[in-house]
């Protein structure tokens, strides 16, 4: 049955309370010689305190761009073209940069893609953590106190405080990634964005590092946006899953329901393309290619690849809305008159 719910502009997790983060109609463009690329094209979602939201989609679908926008770290030739990012109800897109510096790391923090390769090779680990703490603290704090905090952050990710005296080249990949997690959570933010935090590590280390991240998440009660490709890892790690396609959200649903009964044909194909045994493994791809962001097709962006496409799909953009409680999808199949389930 297709619900006739009025069209809310966002989604929410089951449960009560106010979202810690509300993203409304976010638009990000990159201006290139070949024209403007709409990398994020009207994305809205909520993140509840302590919630774990997964963000998946093919390469180029706009996941990292969302992450950077949430931190207000989009660089030229990109720009945030519209929308709101409400952190505890305050639109961070309107903050002066000076205030935003204090929000970063202290309230919303990120483990960027490839973070471990961006550690400063000539600075000791503890100094790099201290620098972050110092940069984002609202007032001056004694060096000794900052160092204590840096050591506590290292211990919180399972590293000895002696690691603080080392340089990045003395650490394994897993240790470096733990350092990046320590840096990201050192100020105990309320929101953590983790962009493929384990993708460069081998499978065993991946599991250990992800285990540490999830343990910390629970201890700190921090809400997490976990970006990745591995649907199996998502199934084990997150409460809800957001599926991106060509800069838009195709579906956002609780993790169990999305696996049991995906509403969007793209979600269905993503899940179907996984190895069947326990549905673990990395996304292997589905037939066809995502559209060029320079020349988007009319109607639903997915219709040229969609096995269930109807005439209307080539003509009209499907609205993104809550078709069942806490299940958001942008697909004509679920619109009035086209109900399939």
**Contact residues for ligand ATP (CB under 6 A)?**
30, 32, 37, 39, 57, 59-65, 77-78, 293
What is the rounded CA–CA span in Å between residue 269 and residue 290? 13
For residue 20, give the nearest of 109, 111, 106, 107 by alpha carbon. 107
Least Å distance, CB 270 to ligand ATP, is 13
Tell how strand 248-254 and strand 90-91 pair up: unpaired
Compare residues 30 and 328 and give the one whose CB is closer to ligand ATP.
30
Nearer to ligand ATP, 32 or 316 (CB): 32
Residue 277 DSSP code: G
Closer by beta carbon to ligand ATP, 25 or else 99: 25
Of the pair 77, 288, the CB lying nearest ligand ATP is at: 77
Q: Considering the complex, what minimum distance in angstroms separates the CB of residue 68 from ligand ATP?
A: 8
CA distance 153 to 180: 10
Least distance to ligand ATP, CB of residue 283, Å: 10
Q: How far is the CB of 93 from ligand ATP (least distance, A)?
A: 18
Cβ atoms within 10 Å of 289's Cβ, excluding its own: 11
Residue 102 burial (10 A CB sphere; 0-12, 13-18, 19+): middle
For residue 40, give the 3-state DSSP assignment.
strand
Minimum CB separation from ligand ATP for residue 28, in Å? Answer: 8
- Nearer to ligand ATP by C-beta: 10 or 64? 64
**Residue 134 CB, nearest approach to ligand ATP (Å):** 29
Paired tokens of 123: 């600075």
Q: What is the DSSP string of 291-317?
A: PPTTSPPSS-TTGGG-TT--GGGGTSP
Q: DSSP string covering 312-324, please? A: GGGTSPPPEEEEE
Write b or e for each residue in 62-74: b if 16 or more Cβ atoms lie within 10 A of its Cβ, otherwise e.
bbbbbbbbbbbeb
Q: Which is nearer to ligand ATP, 11 or 196 (CB)?
A: 196
DSSP 8-state symbol, 221: T
Please, which residue, 92 or 246, has the CB nearer to ligand ATP?
246
Q: CB nearer to ligand ATP: give 83 or 164.
A: 83
Beta strands in the chain (DSSP E): 21-32, 35-47, 52-56, 78-87, 90-91, 108-111, 191-195, 223-227, 240-245, 248-254, 320-324, 327-330
Smallest gap from residue 113 Cβ to ligand ATP (A): 6
Q: How far is the CB of 104 from ligand ATP (least distance, A)?
A: 19
């Amino acid at each position: 049955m297709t619900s006739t719910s009025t069209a809310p502009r966002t989604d929410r997790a089951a449960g009560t309370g106010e979202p810690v983060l509300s993203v409304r109609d976010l638009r990000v463009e990159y201006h290139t010689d070949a024209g403007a690329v709409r990398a994020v094209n009207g994305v809205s979602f909520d993140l509840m305190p302590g919630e774990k939201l997964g963000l998946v989609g093919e390469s180029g679908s706009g996941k990292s761009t969302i992450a950077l926008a949430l931190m207000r770290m989009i660089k030229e030739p990109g720009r945030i073209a519209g929308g709101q990012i409400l952190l505890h109800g305050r639109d961070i897109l309107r903050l002066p940069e000076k205030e935003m510096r204090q929000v970063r790391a202290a309230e919303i923090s990120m483990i960027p893609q490839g973070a471990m390769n961006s550690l400063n090779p000539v600075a000791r680990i503890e100094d790099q953590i201290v620098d972050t703490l110092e940069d984002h603290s609202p007032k001056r704090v004694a060096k000794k106190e900052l160092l204590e905090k840096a050591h506590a952050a290292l211990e919180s990710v399972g590293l000895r405080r002696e690691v603080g005296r080392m340089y990045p080249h003395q650490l394994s990949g897993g240790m470096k990634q733990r350092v990046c997690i320590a840096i990201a959570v050192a100020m105990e933010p309320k929101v953590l964005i983790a962009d493929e935090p384990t993708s460069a590590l081998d499978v065993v280390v991946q599991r250990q590092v992800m285990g540490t991240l999830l343990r910390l998440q629970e201890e700190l009660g921090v809400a997490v946006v976990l970006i990745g490709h591995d649907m199996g890892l998502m199934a084990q790690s997150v409460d809800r899953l957001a599926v991106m396609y060509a800069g838009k959200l195709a579906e956002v649903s609780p993790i169990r329901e999305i696996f049991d009964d995906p509403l969007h044909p793209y979600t269905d194909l993503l899940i179907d393309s996984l190895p069947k045994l326990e549905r673990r493994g990395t996304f292997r791809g589905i037939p066809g290619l995502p559209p060029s962001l320079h020349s988007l097709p009319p109607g639903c962006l997915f219709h040229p690849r969609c096995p269930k496409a109807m005439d209307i799909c080539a003509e009209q953009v499907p609205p993104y809305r809550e078709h069942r409680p806490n299940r958001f999808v942008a697909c004509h199949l679920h619109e009035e008159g086209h109900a399939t389930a």
